[in-house]
Amino acid sequence: MATDREEITHFFTDLQDRICQALEDADGLGRFHEDHWERAEGGGGRTRIIQHGAVIEKGGVLFSAVHGPASEAVLNQMNTREPADFYATGVSIVLHPLNPMVPIIHMNVRYFELSTGVCWFGGGIDLTPHYVDADDARWFHQQLKTACDRHDPAYYPKFKTWADDYFFIRHRAETRGIGGIFFDYLRPENDEHKAALFAFVQEVGNTFAPTYTHFMRKNRSLPFGEAEKNWQMLRRGRYVEFNLVWDRGTKFGLETNGRTESILMSMPPQANWLYDHRPAPGSREEQTLNALRKGLDWV
């Protein structure tokens, strides 16, 4: 039987449930608050927000399934002017930790189809440490490579490069973090290929919880002080800049009249900007900035 949107949607709802439970277990204190919402044009979602946890200061695990007439912006993105309806579903996650030694993480897995018959998958996972630790970076990328290699050895190098290019703050000439994998517009050629692409997207989604809870457990008790918190606020500011200026998911959500509170859940609880801030030579902060560039080979 061909993979249909009901099967895909069911996987995403279950994925949201499993990830939220894993994060609550690892945090030990924080609990998710859930909002059900409906989109006037069609569909809706479940927004789950966690705040003031022992590890996670603020985060969101979102599920949505929305549909309706495709906007002109969406049709232009697909290089078509033929009127069509769309259906889009997926899970999106951003977590901002309390301890600067625990990294920010983002994941998105999604499916999109038009009434014309065109459909595709997209998604990825990327990590944004406040302080880049080479061992942590190598471990993270190895988890993603292992997940990719189970489906196609060409996936990791291709999608790793795509992530480097996508999560790039052009006006700062620096990457948002240490990257990960990113893929979009994976269009199935037939039913068998669609099932294979869906299996890969499932693999990516299932990789998230064990990967991030590893960092929660490993780094949650590492010491930090005021200097590290100040740096964390500056790195959060860079995160905000990317999401509001360059992130296509944020733009798509706003252009399709999505729920604003859910779309902007990726924002940290606090952030900071200092004019022309330059870290001290040889400092951990300078070393981190030097690692925020494309093309680093972590595995």
Which residues are annotated as catalytic? 106
For residue 131, give the nearest of 291, 5, 298, 294 by alpha carbon: 291
Buried/exposed 99-131: b ≥16 CB within 10 Å, e otherwise: bbbbbbbbbbbbbbbbeeeebbbbbbbbbbbbb
Backbone angles phi, psi at 277, to 5 degrees: -70, 130
Pairing type for strands 174-175 and 43-51 reads unpaired
**Amino acid identity for residue 298 in this structure:** W
Instruction: Please give the distance of CA 240 from its chain centroid, rounded to a whole number.
Output: 13
Rounded-to-integer distance, Cα 247 and Cα 98, Å:
24
Buried/exposed 27-43: b ≥16 CB within 10 Å, e otherwise: beebebeeeeeebeeeb
Q: Are 75 and 115 in contact (CB under 8 A)?
A: no
What DSSP character marks residue 97?
E
